Structure 1
Amino acid sequence: MASFSLPPIHDNPDGSWGPSSSNLPETFKFKDIPYAPYSKSDKLGRFADWNDISGDNRQTVSGAAVNPRTGPRGRRDAVQAFGSGLPSAFAFQVEDESSFSLVDNKTGAPRRGGAFGRGRGTTRGSTPYNARGSQRGGRGGFTNNRGAGQRGGRRGWRDWDKNNRTRESSVAIDPSWQMLEEIEFHRLAKLRLEVDEPEEIEAYGRLYPYNKAYDRITTKTERPLQPVDRIKYNTTTSDDPIIQQLASKGTAAIYATDVILSVLMCAPRSVYPWDIVIVREGDKVFFDKRDGGPFDTVTVNENAADPPQDPTAPNPSNPNERTPEPSSINTATSLSLEATYINQNFGFQSVIEAPPPPAIEFEKPNPFYGPDETEPLASCGYRYRVFDLGITEDENIKICVRTEVDAYLPGQGNPLQGQGLITVRALNEFDPRAPGAGGAPDWRSKLDSQRGAVVATEMKNNSCKLAKWSVQSVLAGAEQMKIGYVSRANPRDNTRHVILSTASMRSLDFAAQLNVSLANGWGIVRTVADLCLKMPEGKYVLVKDPNKVWCPLCFLDRGAGALLPVIRLYAVPFSAFVGDEEGAAFDEEAEP
């Protein structure tokens, strides 16, 4: 029969937990061994590492010292000994180190493709440092600069903060303004509306023929950009006398210009802030711009990962902090004024004013040129076109748009019938090595041999600007676009420029290449029009928020909300934006 006997119990008369040291049996030989504590960072691998040398904390393999944390080959997956963070009672102490001798003291030969090889470690025929001084490796190579091996190169000063910098709104939001609507950009991207061909009401102005010699310019036959004194008007919608006449006849319900309409149709691509003033008078709606607002200048590298920055305001919490400021000619404001100057002068210079071929006169002369003007007019034609935004036949929602064309192509048909009309624009290069260049290649060395790389970079960095240009060309009914590549004669001088090349493309094909959806643009216009037609008579402003807004209900980012750009519609008093001092100050600053 099985039996069970209880083990001896050692009672502690002191009353504390556990047996006392006096009652322990003599057979317990390890009573004087202290408790070995361990730190929380130690890995629970082995209870004791008998090969650990606590005094040196290193092991040797083939005569080379090896860190026990990384292993003999430098791997980080080696298991750390349990309790190695603190002195261990089980550490194996070496009493006599004189008996230690090296087994192998030969230097290992470099592996093929390593630092001394010509394999995958370095690029063949290249130096380990590039012109900017940052270390670079070839395919499979390594770099010592943190982030230099990533795409886009080495990270600069406070790159982590560049995307988080707050921008100022294009218009100061008064606390008394009432916000009526807020629309996220991802909602605008889902809108669609197919619009038929427009009806041309009237045409004004004079057009000069385009000089085809500019199509043959290369980087080796560059031509200087010359300032030309010409007058070209950029009048807002409400101040246009032709639109006022058409509105009195009830031609349409909504009136706008192609510049304002293109910003609205390309709103999901925009990064910089903008605002549109909306005036409701009776059953008519006018889309206006402010004098000196963002519609009067051209942006530069708006969609780049690191766009040009203006000097940052001093940190109020740390006024002694010094922040590196960009060069005065490479700030966002200076580049915008420079790009506007280049666009205007390239359009003035690339036409032939002296016949032959002759200039084309539209039905009526320029409506903005007064009898007191003495300077000659620039080549420009205004076409007033009406688009039907109605979804059904019962809806009568039409928009009248004033569009502009810059020149015509000789031998491409009759311009009076809308044949051979073109728009002329210009891209500018300031300094490929300056902050905000967006990784653009040097045009002088790449424009002739690798034009595709230059075009792809510009389409990435200036996606919104190019999209607006293509939309304006399509709205005006221009068959082709002429885009010039203009660079500084000296990267440190923003007053002298040269024309390096000129590209020609069809307007619709270029819009498709940019992935511009005209149906989506018309859907955005119809949505904003419906909002304005529901409002009572008054004055409103549509503002693109300069920064992204947290949307907790948006499920774009794993269902946890996302930061989204938005546009807001505010109700403002009629006295708002009248005699805007900001616009006057902007004009005075831009005059020099």
Structure 2
Amino acid sequence: MAPISLTDLVSSLPASDGWGPPVSTETTLEGVPYAPYSKADKLGRMADWTEGRDKDRGGRQQYGNRNYRDQQVYGANAQSNPFAIQAAEEEATFSVVDNSRTASRGRGFGRGTATFARGRGQRGGQAQRGGRGTFQRIGGRGGQQGYDNRGGRGGRGGRRFGWRDDKPQRNRDASVNVKPDWQVLEEIDFIRLAKLNLETGDGEDIDSYGFLYSYDRTYDKQPGAKTSERKLNVLERAAYNVTTSSDPIIQELADKDEATIFTTDNILSMLMCATKSVYSWDLVLHRRGKQLFIDKREGSSLDMVTVNENATDAPLELSEGNKDSINSPSQLMLEATHINNVFPLQVVIESDSSRKDMTHEHPFYNPNEETDPPASKAYRYRRFDLSLNQDEEPLHLIVRTELDAIAKNNISGDDQYMTIKALNEFDNKAQGSGGALDWRSKLQSQRGAVLATEMKNNSCKLARWTVQSILAKADTMKLGFVSRSNPKNNNDHVILGVLSNKPRDFASQMAMNLANGWGIVRTIVDVVLKMPEGKYVLVKDPNKPVLRLYQVPDNTFEEDTEETGTVQEEDGEE
């Protein structure tokens, strides 16, 4: 019989026929059982060449990894699944030749283990792969446990069977109530802010006001030693925290057109360290003519000193399950603010012989109205040039800076100006302590470790203090270590010691970039100076690393002050 070619075969087929099965119009799926399906069911592999091998070799199930997960078949019930493939008789003799090396499945550290993990999160082997943003208990090198929401590859922060899948979201409140009539002009995330840079000079002094007492060097004894412990006393002194627009000296400088931007070191440091902040804060910006005044509102959170703001497990509010009311963020802020108000007053020698007067008298103290003596405080008004280059028209900023004490240099005999701040310990065993060491036992022997922990847990606060010292051109920054006399009592404190630091050296230790801070200031200023005259509010989002600029009515925040005054008058009449 002669062979038939492919062309002849195709040509002999009827024209109506085509390739493939016949076309049917029937859509009824008769005889096909219903397969229950749930969205929670996970889809397994089409073919698993390792499952039979592990069972034959007695391998145990690894809960939380793929071997266990893939056994959940498509459908709600594996036994009654009508789509389960039944192995044919001839497949029973089929086997796989495996020449790969088998690793030990015993307990231990390292890759491929399922029970223990070393470092941050589980480091799984080929059978494990971690998810993102999952809630997982992690073990540190020292055996300390905590929580991490960082996902990644190889089980870093990945799912662990039997644990919750998501970390509770901390929903903090905004520092100011954003009203519906506020118009959003700009929204800038911290990633963009972190890329800004502006090299600025050291600045120049315009004038100085107030006076300073000499620092008591007896507080510089070995920190942590029993002989250096002193009780923190409360001294009644007149201290002031005047905002930019209420400062009479700044008003005079603005009338003389000495600069374009005016602010204080407390406000400017918050703006320069914005990317390190976690809690919400807000600034008020007044655009008047060609000038810009950066203010804070009455009762602003900028006046408060935060505690462990940057800790991985920051203190919880009472509404978030904190059982210790004295260790809630709000109470810790009140305690830290009180300590930083009274500590600088105690570590100076109040005498006429140790007093140094600045060029002008105190700008805010009025002896006819005040009953308490003024605190040791000097105000330096300094000017900085924020111009991008020499060809550009100068853009000057005047900032009011503060100094707390003065001391004589032991070698040269020159005056050294200093700022004085205080770190405080509440309870190293309480929630929110951030893994802090016991200061009484470790401050003397492990001073560096104690300070490094504080840099980690309070990086925003320490960065702001350092920036304020650099802006004031202080020679020294004194850091006091103040602890509770009893961890359960937040009213009595003791001073454990004082450390001295040069501001710029301390900034280098914290890896601070001052050029980035000036870049943030210049960026915000450029945005507002392009806007028409009026009032603007810059708000840090309470739960996201984002800054938002709002345009607000001119009477914003003034109505609240008037209402408060009216209520007080009515109460007095009653």
TM bucket by the smaller chain? 0.7 to 0.9
1:402 has 2:407 as partner:
no
1:195 maps to which of 185, 194, 200: 200
Q: CA deviation at 1:538?
A: 0.7
What code does the residue aligned with 1:353 have? E
Q: CA deviation at 1:336?
A: 0.3
Does structure 2 conserve the Cα–Cα contact (< 8 Å) formed by 1:210 and 1:410?
A: no
Aligned 1:440-479 pairs, distance under 5 A: 440-479=436-475
Residue 255 of structure 1: aligned partner: 262
CA deviations over 1:443-492 (Å, ceiling 9, x no partner): 11111111111111110110010000000000000011000111111100
What code does the residue aligned with 1:423 have? T
Does structure 2 conserve the Cα–Cα contact (< 8 Å) formed by 1:185 and 1:268?
A: yes
Q: CA deviation at 1:535?
A: 1.4
Residue 337 of structure 1: aligned partner: 334
Q: CA deviation at 1:584?
A: 6.8
Aligned 1:114-513 pairs, distance under 5 A: 147=137, 149-150=139-140, 153-155=144-146, 164-219=169-224, 220-221=226-227, 222-312=229-319, 324-354=321-351, 356=353, 358-370=354-366, 371-391=368-388, 392-411=390-409, 419-513=415-509
Does structure 1 conserve the Cα–Cα contact (< 8 Å) formed by 2:185 and 2:548?
A: yes
Residue 18 of structure 2: aligned partner: none
What code does the residue aligned with 2:260 have? A
Does structure 1 conserve the Cα–Cα contact (< 8 Å) formed by 2:137 and 2:147?
A: no
Q: CA deviation at 1:386?
A: 0.7
CA deviations over 1:184-228 (Å, ceiling 9, x no partner): 111111111111231211100010011111110533221111111
Does structure 2 conserve the Cα–Cα contact (< 8 Å) formed by 1:70 and 1:78?
A: no
Does structure 2 conserve the Cα–Cα contact (< 8 Å) formed by 1:217 and 1:500?
A: no
**For residues 384 and 147 of structure 1, do their structure 2 counterparts lie closer, same or farther at Cα, with a shift above 3 Å needed?**
same
Distance in 2 of aligned mates of 1:44 and 1:251: 77
1:522 has 2:524 as partner:
no
Q: CA deviation at 1:347?
A: 0.6
Does structure 1 conserve the Cα–Cα contact (< 8 Å) formed by 2:118 and 2:139?
A: no
What code does the residue aligned with 1:341 have? H
Between the aligned residues of both structures, percent identity stands at 49
**For residues 440 and 200 of structure 1, do their structure 2 counterparts lie closer, same or farther at Cα, with a shift above 3 Å needed?**
same
Distance in 1 of aligned mates of 2:345 and 2:420: 9
What code does the residue aligned with 1:517 have? N
Q: Unmatched 5+ residue regions in structure 2?
A: 2-41, 81-85, 90-105, 110-115, 123-135, 149-162, 569-574
Distance in 2 of aligned mates of 1:42 and 1:159: 25
Distance in 2 of aligned mates of 1:482 and 1:160: 45
Residue 364 of structure 1 aligns to a residue whose secondary structure is: coil
Residue 508 of structure 2 aligns to a residue whose secondary structure is: helix
Does structure 1 conserve the Cα–Cα contact (< 8 Å) formed by 2:238 and 2:370?
A: no
What code does the residue aligned with 1:384 have? Y
Distance in 2 of aligned mates of 1:450 and 1:363: 43
Residue 133 of structure 1: aligned partner: none
Q: CA deviation at 1:328?
A: 0.8
Residue 561 of structure 1: aligned partner: none
CA deviations over 1:34-65 (Å, ceiling 9, x no partner): xxxxx99799679x99x9xxxxxxxxxxxxxx
CA deviations over 1:251-276 (Å, ceiling 9, x no partner): 10110000100001111111111111
Moved more, 186-195 or 333-342: 186-195
Aligned 1:506-585 pairs, distance under 5 A: 506-548=502-544, 565-578=545-558, 580=560
What code does the residue aligned with 2:276 have? R
Q: Unmatched 5+ residue regions in structure 1?
A: 2-38, 52-67, 92-113, 122-135, 313-322, 549-564
What code does the residue aligned with 2:232 have? L
Does structure 2 conserve the Cα–Cα contact (< 8 Å) formed by 1:217 and 1:223?
A: no
Does structure 2 conserve the Cα–Cα contact (< 8 Å) formed by 1:147 and 1:153?
A: no
What code does the residue aligned with 2:218 have? A
Residue 137 of structure 2 aligns to a residue whose secondary structure is: coil
Does structure 1 conserve the Cα–Cα contact (< 8 Å) formed by 2:197 and 2:519?
A: yes
Does structure 2 conserve the Cα–Cα contact (< 8 Å) formed by 1:292 and 1:583?
A: no
**For residues 497 and 45 of structure 1, do their structure 2 counterparts lie closer, same or farther at Cα, with a shift above 3 Å needed?**
closer
Distance in 2 of aligned mates of 1:160 and 1:459: 31
CA deviations over 1:10-30 (Å, ceiling 9, x no partner): xxxxxxxxxxxxxxxxxxxxx
The structure with the largest alpha-carbon Rg is 1
TM-score using structure 1 length: 0.70
Paired residues, number = 459
Does structure 2 conserve the Cα–Cα contact (< 8 Å) formed by 1:304 and 1:438?
A: yes
Residue 556 of structure 1: aligned partner: none
What code does the residue aligned with 1:578 have? E
Residue 339 of structure 1 aligns to a residue whose secondary structure is: helix
RMSD between aligned residues: 3.8
Residue 139 of structure 2 aligns to a residue whose secondary structure is: coil
Residue 98 of structure 1: aligned partner: none
Q: CA deviation at 1:424?
A: 0.2
Does structure 1 conserve the Cα–Cα contact (< 8 Å) formed by 2:222 and 2:444?
A: no
Distance in 1 of aligned mates of 2:472 and 2:317: 34
Distance in 2 of aligned mates of 1:381 and 1:583: 34
Distance in 2 of aligned mates of 1:160 and 1:89: 36
What code does the residue aligned with 2:483 have? S
Distance in 1 of aligned mates of 2:401 and 2:531: 27
Distance in 2 of aligned mates of 1:396 and 1:576: 32
Q: CA deviation at 1:407?
A: 0.4
Does structure 2 conserve the Cα–Cα contact (< 8 Å) formed by 1:426 and 1:485?
A: yes
What code does the residue aligned with 1:570 have? Y
Distance in 2 of aligned mates of 1:169 and 1:434: 26
CA deviations over 1:48-86 (Å, ceiling 9, x no partner): 99x9xxxxxxxxxxxxxxxx84944647599999x9x75
Q: CA deviation at 1:326?
A: 3.1
What code does the residue aligned with 1:397 have? L
Distance in 1 of aligned mates of 2:435 and 2:352: 43
Does structure 2 conserve the Cα–Cα contact (< 8 Å) formed by 1:232 and 1:377?
A: yes
Residue 208 of structure 1 aligns to a residue whose secondary structure is: strand
Residue 318 of structure 1: aligned partner: none
What code does the residue aligned with 1:427 have? L
Residue 214 of structure 2 aligns to a residue whose secondary structure is: coil
Q: CA deviation at 1:523?
A: 1.0
CA deviations over 1:321-341 (Å, ceiling 9, x no partner): xx6333110000000000011
TM-score using structure 2 length: 0.72
Distance in 1 of aligned mates of 2:329 and 2:460: 16
Q: CA deviation at 1:343?
A: 1.0
Q: CA deviation at 1:311?
A: 2.3
What code does the residue aligned with 2:520 have? I
Does structure 2 conserve the Cα–Cα contact (< 8 Å) formed by 1:279 and 1:286?
A: yes
